[in-house]
Structure 1
Amino acid sequence: MRLVAELVNKTKLPVRHLGMHNTVYIDGSQEFSPASLEKVINSIEHIISGTAEQEYRQLKPSKWTNQTLEAYSLLNILELEINKTRLQKLLNQEVYYCQIESIEDIEYEGWVYDFEVSKNHNFVANNILCHNTIQTIAFLLNKQEQEALEAPTLLVCPTSVLGNWEREVKKFGPTLKVIVHHGDKRAKGKQFAKAIKDKHLVITSYALLYRDEKILQTIKWQSVIVDEAQNIKNPEAKQSQAVRKLDASFRIALTGTPVENRLSELWSILDFLNPGYLGQKQFFQRRFAIPIEKYGDTNSLQTLRSLVQPFILRRLKTDKDIIQDLPEKQENTIFCPLANEQAMLYQNIVENSLAEIEAADGIQRKGKILALLVKLKQLCNHPVLLQIKKGSKKKVEIGDKNSGKLQRLGAMLEEIISEGERAIIFTQFAEWGKILQPYLEKNLGREISFLYGATRKNKREEMVDQFQLDPQGPPIMILSLKAGGTGLNLTRANHVFHFDRWWNPAVENQATDRVFRIGQTRNVQVHKFVCTGTLEEKIHDLIESKKELAEQVVGAGEQWLTELDTDQLRNLLILDRNQVIEDE
């Protein structure tokens, strides 16, 4: 960054005095992440206050210390103050992706993209990991700025991430008018065209792509974007056929896994983007799929690669030319809708329990509220938890169809394992851990550890050692929050999942610190699961909007909720039906 390079040249101070560990930030080879830029700002404050010079004077005199002390004596404090303010302004801005000719004299207001300059693709976004969602929003914002959004864009995604997309658009693209086409209250027939008339973005699910095929075909879309494009990998599937019939000026496919099993999946996605580009499916099988998959034909592979390369923007987390200096810990809230069965049970439990709570008082009322909260949290995990008794040794088999959280967890863990990474999953329900362990082992095809209160000391130590030290050991460990939330060192993992929430930030942070601690050499991703439309989302929003106050008020877990009157409790617990997964 030119600003910081000028500071170093003018002050003549060593780069470490300005919060940098080496010169990569000032020689043009690396840009600042929010964390590294914040270190520079804090170091400038340290210099302005005079503390930095006082600390440096304690060192043994030498040629180098004398030169640095002379530089301190010649500092222009006013100029430092001005530069600190300019850097703070940069830090507070959201930054997105773009290609530019030069990094010289960049002035911008509002949003811009992440800079891509010649060989260096430097990530400089503030508090976000640049990924498909952000790039897509930035692309639409760019079109809007150019006044080129002439018709609505249709974005199709799995039902489980509808809420995520809506939130990300509202957060990073607040000027975009967005509507979610989902739920039994969605616009139908002629009302659909009216509902989307002034919208920039319409978000819908794969489940509705076929079901609402006729009304979606009546619109001339500016673009059709498919998220998790592997969902159209089977060209014979109804949703794959429906998306191909949509009229759009251009198409975009977003996926981390363009090929899951066979090359024909890549053909299906490319054929959606550019129909006929790779020939008919039978031709593709003869020319590419069979020679490459069956005979390992490198010439065919190279030809195919050169054909598809112009249409694929691929960014690997391992590519140091792209991502060099990310924040050490990044927290993500994963919003998951309820499945239909969960929603019906949720409503019944709330209605029946509120009637009982209203009739009770004192300690009995508080006890009923706490019991209700536990039951709803268990239900948000999976309905099966309402059917088993605590301490039961009976084996239970489950599926993910009736749990939005489980669907999302499975997809995320598959990607983590495929990249050779490791994860730990926290839950406060030991019964859930016992059910989740065999489910994940069956679906992921890997051994999964489960550590909870009843795990004996020697077994516990063996489990941790295997996870930490054995390259062939279990890539996933499930821990009950009480048994595994403190006292363990699990730095081999770089992903932490809070499958259900404790609603006490201090407890969750302490659990996360099993991974994010001294000895951790990789960036840590923390994923906090929240069921949309339920009390989980409302309490999450409350904590996020008043974080400092919340840490005091919510410090006792759920006790504060027992003080709410029945009307306040009803408002907190009532289900938003629009956030429910429709049966496909």
Structure 2
Amino acid sequence: METHVEGRGFGTLIRLYGGSLGSQKLRDTRGTETQSGLPQLDLDWLNETFEDGRAHRYWFLTTYTTLANYQHSLGKVPFSAMVMDEIQNIKNRATLASRAVEAMNADFRIGLTGTPIENAAIDLWTIMDRIAPGCLRSGSYFKEQYAVPDAENMADLHARVFKPRGTVPPLGLRRLKDEVARDLPTKRRYLQPRLMPKVQADAYDLAQIKLANGGPGAALKMLHHIRSVSVHPGDTGATRPDEFIAKSARLDAVMDILRRIKAADERVLVFIEHRDMQFRFAEIVRHFFGLERIDVINGDTPIPRCQEIVNRFQRHLKADGGFDMLILGPKAAGTGLTLTAATHVIHLSRWWNPAVEEQCNDRVHRIGQTRPVAVHIPMALHPELGAQSFDCLLQSLMQRKRKLAEQALWPMGDNNSDVSGLTEAVAAPTRGNHTVLADSMAEQFRRDGLLITSPDADGARELR
């Protein structure tokens, strides 16, 4: 904003977030408007700017949280335009932030997002209703038409949003990164398969039996448990770092990846969902690689602290400090951050939502990146299941949903069809001897309709 607004003389930027908020509050007010129900911002000075025809010279920069907390004051301001970045953050219409956006008084609204349908089709309805109320009719009508996605209704929804209607321009403009950021360096994805050690395979077998014998209500819970076991079988005792790694095929693969990144003096982001694993993994990497510190960004990280971590990491762009790493939670740190000092992304744990995963990758592969980016996906393969292991089945689901999303709008979240299909495949696979990784990967690539690539010297296979 400082570069494009003040620098070009567009006017005065008013910051309404963090410590800057205090200068705009009424004297002797405490807390927020959601607590008191009364306006707490002193914006009366704007009245004179309207009278003098100078109001267009002022820009407000705020967050969705601040907007929700001070919506009574901000709702009284007649804005000419309202620009909402990462608008998928208000996809839940019942949240205070989403309702605050709805209540704002703005002549013109623009929303920007890389994931118009992050979970379910109703996400798009909420987003569009906040931009142009009524443009997709009522929420009940929308659910009736699009709640259960199929090729026909998703194509119809795509046309309603992105196609012009006679002389009326489309509601939305879809711009793919490959089309508008052609100068970005390449981004390559690699699968890094490893066979599960016995302790992990045994834990997987136990979870699989429970999944097969459990009722419908327990299926999702057990599926999450298998997903967790595929990261690590669990260890409550005080285990040495090398012993902890030896129990997990994924961790074993990640350590090999990190050694190669360190040898190249490059930097990496590692996405891990579970908080305990985030901090334990940080200590393990510090132990093996001698890093003085490894910062973690998750849902508990305050915004000022988060920015400090980002600034420290990005310093490598000015003075290359060699190998470094950040650990991030995919939901909390998957949007809004620029971390182009890294050139590698590792997904130690994965959610079955390719939109979330792609947002994580885009922390690195974005404007400002000047070097090729590598995305690494470690996979734990059961020696008796091979390509029927959870990690391989999840990869196939992600690949299928990614293809559908490239062709048209498609919900990326875990719908009932995804869960039931994945549960059925995980609960009753065909067992055999699948200790040859090359055979399992060939089956994986054929199932996903991809060109079978040869492994590199480290066993990684590129997705093309």
Per the shorter chain, which TM-score range? 0.3 to 0.5
Q: Which has the larger radius of gyration?
A: 1
Normalised by the length of structure 1, the TM-score is 0.38
Normalised by the length of structure 2, the TM-score is 0.47
Report the structure, 1 or 2, having the larger helix content: 1
Say which structure, 1 or 2, has more relative contact order (CA 8 Å, 6+ apart): 2
